[in-house]
Amino acid sequence: IYGWSLFVTIAGSAVGAGPFLTALLGIDPSPAVNAATALALVLVATCLNLAGTKLLARVAMFGFICELVGAIFVGIHVLTFHRHYPIGVIFDNMGIGHGWSYLPAFMAASLVGAFTCYGFEACGDVAEETENAGIAIPRSIRMTIYVGVGASVFVAVALLLAVPDIPAVIAGRDKNPLITVLRSAFGPIGSRLVVAIVMVSFLSCLLSLQAAVSRLLYAYARDEMIMGSSTLARLSPHTHVPTAALIVAGVVPATIVCLGYFMENAVTTIVGFATGGIYIAFQMIVLAALSARLRGWNPHGRFTLGRWGYAVNVAALVYGVSVIVNILWPRVESDNWYEHWSMILITAFIIGCGLIYMTSARHYDRGHSPAGDAWRLQSAPRGR
């Protein structure tokens, strides 16, 4: 389910970039245009990934710097010169839920945090290519959380206070408040420069996600745990990247984009499953860790939480299950029942297919790689 969630996340990120690219190019957005731009972005990301890890690292770092510097600059600028509301607007429900419970609106709004604060585990997907992964990977994940979440919260608050007319957004008259804020704050030329930086961030995101899922496919294939292992486990002799796995990491998201074109509320469904699926995969590990702790397991890795481990484990499970329920809860009204329950149906279908494949093929018994720092397997022959 984690792999499929990454596939869908790639498709969702590409589709989400469509409105920004159309705004940058001055094209009227439409479902067909968004699908075409999403396919183009997936193709570009796949080609860059196939060029090798050195180019991937440079582009990813450039995208991260653009995203971080651009986010801080935009946040400071709109807060200083284009703020329309005081900070107290965060606690103003704008009349939503008047006479009724405000909880549904609050839970829907909280999804912004769920959609933003995930994906940090991608650092661990390249652990086999990292020296001293037991130290480097936890440190990288923590730094990504600190910097990423901090910048995201700052920019989200800044943009919220800079919206010219929040009631118009709530009523649906302003369908793209982010573009509205950028145009009012930076003008037509400046807003395009900001959108260009956003597009670099989207491309960097696609590159990182593709790299992560391709390494996941390669790892499974190397241990003969999935179909097509002999092909997916091959590395390019020139770029030393899993070529076949990267191609699959481009073809599957492109197929999802095409299927989403014919589906109403496709973006909501794609983003919902991408986030919900990854949270489900997380909670499988969290639940297994908690079960092991209850039976006396004591982690012995280079990074541990010490005596806080049990409490953090329980809190993570409670939070994760709550987020999964919130994400998968049907909110979009539709005449077709299967679209109304689409996220739950898709999630159940993928989990069901995975269970059937796991119990029938039993590929999970074929792995022979050690659980430790597998990068030593690559370095040992050269040292002898």
- Looking at residue 105, which CATH number applies to its domain? 1.20.1740.10
CB-based contact 60:204 (threshold 8 Å):
yes
Of 316, 310, 328, whose CA–CA distance to 285 is shortest? 316
Residue 99 pLDDT exceeds 50 = yes
Q: Which pLDDT band holds residue 262 (cuts at 50, 70, 90)?
A: confident
Of 45, 33, 44, 9, whose CA–CA distance to 267 is shortest? 9
Least confident of 23-32, 213-222, 307-316: 23-32
Asked if residue 231 is part of any domain, the answer here is yes
CB-based contact 29:2 (threshold 8 Å):
no
Number of domains in the chain: 1
Asked if residue 376 is part of any domain, the answer here is no
Mean pLDDT of 22-36: 82
Helices then strands, counting H and E runs in the chain, come out as 15, 0
CB-based contact 42:238 (threshold 8 Å):
no
CB-based contact 66:197 (threshold 8 Å):
yes
Q: Which pLDDT band holds residue 321 (cuts at 50, 70, 90)?
A: very high
Alpha carbon distance 247, 273 (integer Å) = 22
Contacts of residue 268, defined as CB under 8 A and 6 or more positions apart, other chains included, come to 332
Asked if residue 347 is part of any domain, the answer here is no
Contacts of residue 342, defined as CB under 8 A and 6 or more positions apart, other chains included, come to 263, 265, 269, 330
Give the residue numbers spanning the domain of 255.
2-264
Least confident of 38-52, 102-116, 212-226: 102-116
Length of the chain: 384
Residue type, 334: S
Tell me, letter by letter, the H, E, C secondary structure of 147-192: HHHHHHHHHHHHHHHCCCCHHHHHHCCCCCHHHHHHHHHHHHHHHH
Asked if residue 55 is part of any domain, the answer here is yes
Asked if residue 309 is part of any domain, the answer here is no
Percent of residues in the chain assigned helix, strand, coil, to nearest 5: 75, 0, 25
Q: Which residues of 248-262 are buried (b: 16+ CB within 10 A; e: fewer)?
A: bbbebbbebbeebbe
Asked if residue 317 is part of any domain, the answer here is no
Each residue's pLDDT tens digit, 284-295: 889 988 988 888
Query: Between 203 and 334, where is the model more confident?
Result: 203
**Alpha-carbon distance values, 200 to 180, 182, 195, 316 (Å):** 20, 17, 9, 32
Contacts of residue 93, defined as CB under 8 A and 6 or more positions apart, other chains included, come to 102, 105
Asked if residue 88 is part of any domain, the answer here is yes
Element spanning 379, H or E = helix 375-383
pLDDT of residue 376: 45
Asked if residue 308 is part of any domain, the answer here is no
Residue 30 pLDDT exceeds 70 = yes
Q: Which of 38-47, 277-286, 368-377 has the highest mean pLDDT?
A: 38-47
Tokens matching residue 380:
């040992």
Query: Between 170 and 160, where is the model more confident?
Result: 160
